[in-house]
């Protein structure tokens, strides 16, 4: 009788130990998953929701993109990149009311962007091919944007060192560097490289 009781007590003790081990393992897994997700969002990739129609048709309002936050640790910001940047360090950009914005890089530091050939963009006097724009898109630069170099030409901007001239693909509906001036390279969060929502429009950018 005592032997049976002892076996039952041993089995109960082992079951309790196993339950405790399982609980500890689950807690460790959950903590590890949260930590990994935090590290990924902080240092590697971050989802971003498109707040306005300034990038239509490339990006629609409510689209969600994935931003590579390490991209520019390995190479410079390049023309044509779609970047997410923080408004706060960029003077007049704060008036948009959005903390983070998304635009396409058009002009690099030291380059001169002008409106040429009636609604087209020229870089240092050479026509810029913008295959990502819908046919018939026109681009106007009405004045010298704020924050451009003092020797900027009329209807253009010479981009200061460390800054980038960005525009939305929806040129007629985009309040961008033509109004607020070039952005600081240090304000760029990363490069948007993947549209991950909606499901029927998943694809690289």
Q: Is 42 helix (H, G, I), strand (E, B) or coil?
A: helix
Length in residues, the chain: 205
Structure tokens at 132: 């990502």
Backbone φ and ψ for 133, nearest 5 degrees, come out as -90, 145
| Catalytic entry in 54, 152, 174, 187 | 54
Give Cα separations from 82 to 58, 118, 166, 194 (angstroms): 10, 25, 9, 10
Active site residue 54: yes
Active site residue 17: no
Burial of 36 (0-12, 13-18, 19+ CB in 10 A): exposed
Cβ atoms of residues 90 and 117 within 8 Å: no
Backbone φ and ψ for 202, nearest 5 degrees, come out as -60, 135
| Catalytic entry in 71, 103, 174, 187 | 103
Structure tokens at 192: 């948007």
Residues tagged active-site: 54, 103
């Amino acid at each position: 009788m005592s032997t049976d009781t002892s076996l039952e007590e041993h089995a109960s003790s082992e079951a309790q130990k196993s339950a405790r081990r399982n609980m500890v393992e689950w807690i460790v897994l959950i903590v590890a998953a949260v930590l990994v997700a935090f590290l990924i969002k902080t240092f590697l990739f971050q989802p971003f929701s498109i707040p306005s129609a300034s990038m239509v048709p490339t990006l629609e309002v409510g689209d969600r993109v994935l931003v590579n936050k390490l991209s520019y640790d390995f190479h410079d910001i390049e023309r044509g990149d779609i970047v997410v940047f923080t408004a706060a360090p960029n003077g007049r950009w704060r008036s948009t009311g959005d903390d983070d914005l998304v635009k396409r890089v058009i002009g690099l530091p030291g380059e001169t962007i002008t409106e040429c050939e009636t609604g087209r963009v020229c870089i240092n006097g050479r026509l810029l091919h913008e295959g990502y724009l819908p046919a018939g898109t026109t681009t106007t630069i009405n004045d010298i944007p704020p924050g451009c170099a003092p020797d900027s030409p009329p209807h253009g901007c010479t981009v200061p060192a460390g800054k980038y001239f960005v525009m939305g693909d929806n040129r007629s509906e985009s309040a961008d560097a033509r109004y607020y001036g070039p952005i600081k390279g240090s304000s760029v969060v990363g490069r948007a490289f993947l549209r991950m929502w909606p499901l029927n429009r998943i694809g690289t950018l």
